[in-house]
Structure 1
Amino acid sequence: MTTVSFIVDGITCDGCVSSIRRALTAIDGVQSVDVKQENGEVTIEYDPQRAGTSSLQNAIRGAGYEVS
């Protein structure tokens, strides 16, 4: 497993947290997702054989948020 963190703009409520978590956990290979609303940090543990950072970032963008 590999862990990566991104700073995500626009996380303002629990609904935002849920949307991002749902988008990321739908990706095959994602083991866990931790979203911190207070600083916009999203930490993802994933299997690099099954998912890549670009697919993780695309999922966040697809949920309507920008990755810094």
Structure 2
Amino acid sequence: MTISIQIDGMHCDGCVRSVEKAASSVEGVSNLSVNLENGKLTADIARPELIDKLKGVIEDCGFDVTGVTA
């Protein structure tokens, strides 16, 4: 399942790296990319419940999740 997560508050490449590092630590996530221009994380996830896990690690980095599209 491919998902997109809208992230508010990313301003630089360091922000992108923080989100990528945190999200890539979630087991079952693959093909991860974070786009600074549109503020989106796109990834393939093995199970739907990983959406909440990803939202949590992004918020732990200090960013706001403003939407999820599956």
Counting only pairs closer than 5 Å after superposition, residues 28-47 of structure 1 correspond to structure 2 as: 28-47=27-46
> Pairwise CA RMSD of aligned residues?
1.3
SS across alignment from 1:4? strand
1:1-68 alignment, distance < 5 Å: 2-48=1-47, 52-68=50-66
What displacement does 1:32 show? 2.3
**Aligned pairs, number:** 66
TM-score by length of 1: 0.88
Cα distance in 2 between the residues matched to 1:42 and 1:31: 12
Inter-partner Cα distance in structure 2 for 1:18 and 1:53? 19
Question: Where does the alignment leave 5 or more consecutive residues of structure 1 unmatched?
Answer: none
Percent identity at matched positions? Answer: 33
Moved over 6 A (4+): none
Structure 1 Cα separation of the partners of residues 5 and 28 of structure 2? 17
Q: CA deviation at 1:57?
A: 0.4
CA contact (8 A) 2:28 2:50 kept: no
